[in-house]
Amino acid sequence: MNDTSHTARLLVACPDDKGLVAEITRFIADRGGNILDLDQHTDPDDCMFFARVVFDLHGLNLSMDAFILQWNTLADQHEMTWRIHDASQHRRIAILVGKTDHCLREILWRWEDGELPCDIPFVAGNHDDLSPLATRYGLPFHTLPVDASSRRVQEYQIETLIQQHHVDLIVLARYMQILTPEFVSHFPNRIINIHHSFLPAFAGAKPYHQAHRRGVKLIGATCHFVTDDLDAGPIIEQATARVGHRDTLADLIRKGKDLERSALMTGLQLQLEDRIIVHGNRTVVFE
């Protein structure tokens, strides 16, 4: 992994204007920051400017608090929506699961292997099936059963855990429960889900059964942010695979699990590396 111990990542979105790249880079350079990477995109449809800037903090001649205070002046001038993150500070993610283990296994394996720059304070599920897997990795597992009558009570328990552990990001690793609008509203663009379908086709229950009956030639999985609209939040990543008439239902399910793991891991990695800007119901992804 690259050394990110003394770097910062700045994400910017604002109405397009001449000289924005020059102003941003000059601002950083004038304060001793050395730009290591810069990627920008202008959307011609709504005249919006987006940028991701990574810069070295070693030579910064002021504190990060002072940098942000001064940056606010420039940001206000251009009506910027922005965020900055010190890459040395690992994000804290909470993982919510059901009974299916393949996505959780992928996350924990890559996390233990050092591929995911994050801390995982706990795993929670509405069933206890995956408790032994979390325990194997030294992680606390909270079993929080839920039904229609106890949904908000159970979500309040999750919210309490999130607050206690200062969680930055929530990952639904095949957590097969619909979150209430009240819960989602507390964490805008902070809940990532993996949907076992190439959205919007075959949404709902048993997508691979539906796909198999239709004789599809392409299956997929979609990683997206969670919003009030079920499975309709901003899309982060999609993965697909070709299938044919010789593929059985078991083949589709097996291939689908591989796609789910791949799309979820890519989406999670992109978010942890500050490569995603949400704009309306779309995303700008700096890969």
Q: What is the DSSP string of 220-271?
A: EEEEEE--SSTT-SPEEEEEEEE--TT--HHHHHHHHHHHHHHHHHHHHHHH
Q: Count other C-beta atoms under 10 Å from residue 37's C-beta.
A: 11
Catalytic residue among 129, 231, 251, 258: 231
Question: What CA–CA distances, in Å, run from 146 to 98, 124, 150, 264?
Answer: 11, 12, 6, 24
Mark whether 231 is an active-site residue: yes
For CA atoms 227, 197, 162, 152, the dihedral sign is positive
The span from the CA of 259 to the CA of 161, in Å, is 30
User: CA angle at residue 227 from 8 to 213, to 5 degrees?
Assistant: 115
Would you call 161 helix, strand, or coil by DSSP? helix
Determine the distance from the C-alpha atom of residue 89 to the mean position of all C-alpha atoms in its chain, rounded to a whole number. 17
The span from the CA of 19 to the CA of 4, in Å, is 28
Q: Which residues are catalytic?
A: 231
